[in-house]
Amino acid sequence: MSSENEMADLVSIIHGNSREIAGKVAGNTGFSMTLGTITATGLMIDNFRYEITDYMVLDYLTMNKEYFTDTNTAGEDSHSHKVKTPDELKPLNVGDRVVVATIGAQNIIIGRVKVNA
C-alpha cells in the first residue's frame, strides 16, 4: 500500500472518530457547535463579536507540514522517505474556516471546513 493511501485511510478514520465523539457529546448540556475563522491573533466565532485567544485545537490539525518515515530492516541499509502531509492534516492558517465546539467555557476547533464547489 502506498503512503498516500495510508494517509487517506488515516484521515478517514480521524474524521469518523471526530463525528462519533461529537455525536456522543451533543447529548450533554453545555455543548454547542458553530463556525469560526482563524485570525492572525486568535479565533473569531461567527455568533460572538469578540476575538478569542484562549482555545484548543484537535491534534490532527497541528501536524507538521512534512515528516519522514524510517525504514530499518535486517540486512539492508536504513533509509527514510519524505511523506507529503495531506492538505486536510496541515496546520491551520489565517483565514481558514473551522468548526468550533463549545463545551462549557472551552472552545475547541474540531475541524477545518471548505466550500464544496
Q: For 1-15, how does the pLDDT look when each residue is reduced to its tens digit (9 = 90+)?
A: 466 677 777 776 776
Place of cell 486568535: 42
Q: Sign of torsion, CA 81 84 89 93? A: positive
Task: Look up residue 44 and give its amino acid.
Answer: M
C-alpha grid cell, residue 107: 472552545
Nearest alpha carbon to residue 86 among 22, 19, 5: 5
pTM over 0.75: no
Q: For 31-65, how does the pLDDT look when each residue is reduced to its tens digit (9 = 90+)?
A: 889 999 999 999 999 988 999 999 999 888 877 66
Task: Look up residue 66 and give its amino acid.
Answer: E
